[in-house]
Every structure is written in C-alpha cells, then in structure tokens.
Amino acid sequence: MPHFPSPIESRLPNVGTTIFTVMSRLAQECGAINLSQGFPDFNAEDVLFERVAHWMRSGHNQYAPMGGVAPLREAIARKVSGLYGTDFDPETEITVTAGATQALFTAVAALVHPGDEVIVFEPVYDSYAPAIELQGGRVVRMQLAAPEYRPDWDAVAAVITPRTRMIMINSPHNPTATVWSSEDMARLAALTRGTGIVIVSDEVYEHIVFDGLRHESCAQYPELAARSVVVSSFGKTYHITGWKVGYVVAPRELMAEFRKVHQFNVFTVNTPVQLALADYMGDASRHERLAAFYQGKRDYFRDALAGSRFELLPSSGTYFQLARYGAISGEADSTFVQRLTRDTGVAAIPVSAFFADGRDERVIRFCFAKNEATLAAACEKLRRV
C-alpha cells in the first residue's frame, strides 16, 4: 500500500469520522435497529419517483442552470411567499443546492473572512464549526442548557464584538427538538440591528413543528430577512435525504456572494430531480401535512416508552427525541449508546458529540422518523433496559 512521503498538516486536526457514520456503522455491524442517524426508513410517494423518471426519459439529463432550474426556483418563491409573506426573486435570490450541509458550508465560505467571529449555539450540528474553521474564522459557542435548551440572549449580547461577522441559528433545533419563539426572533433582530452581522438560519425542519406551535422563519421578519441566508431541505420535507437537494433564499447582495462559491464547489444540482421537485411542490398539502404526520410518530414513540426507565425530554419539532438515562446507568453517553447498540439492539446518538468539549449531560438522541413497526420493535427492546 502506498504512503504519502511526508507528514500532512491537517486543516481540521481535531475532526474525526462523524458520530452519525460511527453509530450507523455499528448498528449495521450489530444488526441493531438504527434510531441514530436522522433519516426515514420509508419512501416518498411513488408520484415523485415517476416525475423523476419522466424528466429523465424526456431528455433532461444535462447540466441545469447554476442557480437551479427556473420552475423549481419559482415554486420555492411561491412557497416562501405563501408561508412567510416575503417575496424573493427566483432569478437572483434563490439557489438550489446539493443538500443543506453544502448550503451551510457555502454560506460560511462566501461570507466569513480570516479572523471573523461566528456565534453558534451548542449543542450544535457537527458541520458548522469545521466550515467556520476552514475559512479561518473563530467559533464562539453559546450554551443551550438542558432540559429547555433556550438561548440566553443577554449572554449572546455580551459576546458580540466588532469582529462578529455571523450568527448561525437552527430552529427547529437538532439535536434538542426545541423550537424558537417569536420573542427569540425579536431579540435576535434587536441584537443585530445597526450591525453588519449576517444570520445563517438552518431551517431544514421548518415543516416539522408540533403541538400547535409555529415555525418562526427569518424569512418572515423583514428586518431579519434583509440580513439572512435561510437554508431548507427537500430531503427532510419529502423523505428523500439521500437525494441531497436543498435550497437557499437570501437578499440579492448576499446571494451574489453565495453563488460565487456555489459555482465552484458544486456548480449545479442534478436536473431531472429538480424538475420533478418543481412538479411535486405544486401540491402544498404535502408539506402542510408533515407536522401532523411526524407528531403522530413522536406521540407513538413517547407512549411506547412511557413504561421504560428513560426520561423523555420535550420534543417540540424535528423528528428527534432526547432522553436522559440516569436511572439506568452512570456511564458516559458515548459508552452507553455503544452498549445499547451491542447489547439491546437499538442505536442512538450521544448528545456529547454536539459539544466541542464533549460535555456529557447523560442525554442521548433517538430518531423517530421510522415506520411504526420499526418503532414498536425498538421500544420493546428499550423497555427491557
């Protein structure tokens, strides 16, 4: 086997294999039920697959325009306008991306300069900090404390400096399943007023909000919309995470910078899938039904674990459920989830993986975006722990 002849100076020396890959691999090796990585084990509707096949057979298999095919960008514009009351120009203010992670990375690469500070909220999705560090930015971590996981806006105000370039937010929030309120958005607007701070708003779970709550998008607040890059995901909305298609809306000044990077790290996204999604978006009821669909799964999962020794924390959005396991074990969360996978046959994610310092609050994350039979089998195992 060949070896590189000299030491490699890593640009991400503290980054290893993502915990999602680690736990999914372990689940596969052990034959365990995988409630770790956030993806459904059920398909989208056949009509979506049929529309992809239609556009493939019709010869639409070459490069799409860099920003995305016009019908899809126009459909996105109609959706965002209908939901949030803000009109984005499909030509200059909407870009189709190769999933949300690419969109988040591109936004950071386009807008963060060496020495800039970027505020993130921990526990934080694992792609944020590496994207910032690769641009020479400094990650400023604000803590969301269990079990409410609400932002402390006075603490945020205290860390804003002239070097603060960006604030990255995520609601509904992965991994905590917390949903930000209108009061949170008002505080965010007040803190950034009169500054050059850009907001990157990760809203991939925008349609998965429970118990009558409303998703608060940066797109619906004019003051925030004017300084925000808003990211969403078709994968999360239509149960097609493996297709890796998302989109960004932003004011044209920010989008112009975004596209400068997008054209060189992805350029464009596959054409027939874009055209199929444009067709599929014509029925708005598909995303309107999503909250009730996943609330049913959340309630089923919680009810099935009611007799277990897991302490379930609130889940107001996303398709995740956090649980404390202190009544079962005093082990570190990373040790506990590996033992749970091997001995019980159910894989979960340790929430310490979402903290830079590995903070361990003895909390783990389950994904309930699964068929009822999958959830029933998993909960039967978990009740025996």
Query: What CATH number did the domain enclosing 61 receive?
Result: 3.40.640.10
State residue 21's pLDDT score: 87
Q: Do residues 271 and 321 both lie within one domain?
A: no
Kindly state whether residues 118 and 239 are assigned to the same domain.
yes
Does residue 2 form part of some domain? no
Asked whether residue 59 is assigned to any structural domain, the reply reads yes
Note whether 334 and 371 are within 8 A (CB).
no
| Omega cis (within 30) before 123 | yes
Could you tell me the residue range of the domain that residue 275 belongs to? 46-283
What is d(CA 377, CA 372) in angstroms, rounded to the nearest whole number? 9
Q: What is the mean pLDDT of residues 9-22?
A: 86
State phi, psi for 113 to the nearest 5 degrees: -105, 160
- From 263, 283, 303, give the residue that closes a domain: 283
Q: Is the same domain home to 233 and 371?
A: no
Which pLDDT tens digit goes with each residue over 213-260? 999 999 999 999 999 999 999 999 999 999 999 999 999 999 999 999
Tell me, yes or no, whether 60 lies in a domain. Answer: yes
Contact assessment for residue 172 and residue 209, using Cβ atoms and an 8 Å cutoff = yes
Q: Say if 12 falls within a structural domain.
A: no
Amino acid at 93: E
Q: What is the mean pLDDT of the chain?
A: 96
Residue 328 reports pLDDT greater than 90? yes
Give the rounded percent of residues in the chain with a pLDDT score beyond 70: 100
Indicate whether 190 pLDDT > 90. Answer: yes
Query: CA-to-CA distance for 373 and 330, rounded, in angstroms?
Result: 30
Check residue 180 and give its pLDDT. 97
Cβ proximity of 316 and 213 under 8 Å? yes
Q: Exposure pattern of 95-127 as b/e (b: 16+ CB <10 Å)?
A: bbbbbbbbbbbbbbbbbbeeebbbbbbbbbbbb
The sign one gets for the Cα dihedral 175, 181, 182, 188 is negative
Q: Provide the residue type at 62 as one letter.
A: Q
Rounded to an integer, the average pLDDT of 362-378 is 97
Q: pLDDT tier at 307 (50, 70, 90 boundaries)? A: confident
User: Residue holding tokens 């999604």?
Assistant: 277
- Per-residue pLDDT, 372: 96
**Among candidate residues 254, 283, 312, the one where a domain is terminated:** 283
pLDDT score for 315: 98
- Give the pLDDT confidence score for residue 8 in this predicted structure: 87
The verdict on 203 and 338 lying in the same domain is no
**Percent of the chain residues topping a pLDDT of 90:** 92
Beta-strand runs (E) in the chain? 33-34, 94-97, 117-122, 138-143, 164-170, 198-202, 228-233, 246-249, 311-312, 320-324, 346-347, 349-350, 363-367
CATH number for position 348: 3.90.1150.10
Residue 11 located in a structural domain: no
- Same structural domain for residues 185 and 78? yes
Q: Where are the beta strands (DSSP E) in 62-123?
A: 94-97, 117-122
* 132 and 248 both lie in a single domain: yes
Note the pLDDT of residue 137: 98
Give the number of other Cβ atoms within 10 Å of residue 358's Cβ.
12
What count of other Cβ atoms lies within 10 Å of the Cβ of residue 151? 20
224 occurs within a structural domain: yes
**Which phi and psi angles does 90 have, rounded to 5°?**
-60, -25
Q: Which of 261, 283, 305 is the last residue of a domain?
A: 283
Mean pLDDT of 258-282: 97
**Do 341 and 194 fall into the same domain?**
no
Q: Is the pLDDT of residue 1 over 90?
A: no
Of 22-26, 71-75, 102-106, 327-331, minimum mean pLDDT range: 22-26
- What is the rounded CA–CA span in Å between residue 100 and residue 298? 24
- Residue among 102, 137, 103, 92 at smallest CA distance from 119: 137
pLDDT digits (tens, 9 = 90+) for 130-167: 999 999 999 999 999 888 899 999 999 999 999 999 99
CA end-to-end distance (rounded Å), the chain: 45
Same domain, 60 and 139: yes
The answer to whether the CB of 229 falls within 8 A of the CB of 250 is yes
Mean pLDDT of 53-74: 98
**Is residue 326 domain-shared with residue 296, that is, in the same domain?**
yes
The C-alpha atoms of residue 104 and residue 204 are separated, in whole angstroms, by 11
- DSSP class of 353: G
Same domain for 320 and 238? no
pLDDT on residue 14: 84
Produce one character per residue of 155-189: b if its CB has 16 or more CB atoms within 10 Å, e if not.
Answer: ebeeebeeebbbbbbbbbbbbbbbbbeeebbebbb
The per-residue pLDDT for 61 is 97
The answer to whether residue 340 is domain-embedded is yes
Nearest CA to 189 among 227, 141, 163? 227
| Residue (of 215, 277, 236) closest to 369 by Cα position | 236
13: in domain: no
The residues pairing with 166 across neighbouring beta strands, listed in sequence order, are: 118, 198
Please state the pTM of the whole predicted model.
0.96
Q: Say which amino acid occupies 288.
A: E
The number of folded domains in the chain is 2
Instruction: Provide the pLDDT for residue 16.
Output: 80
User: What's the mean pLDDT in 325-346?
Assistant: 97
Look at 26 and 16; give whichever has higher pLDDT.
26
Q: Is the same domain home to 31 and 52?
A: no
Judgement on whether residues 256 and 377 belong to the same structural domain of the protein: no
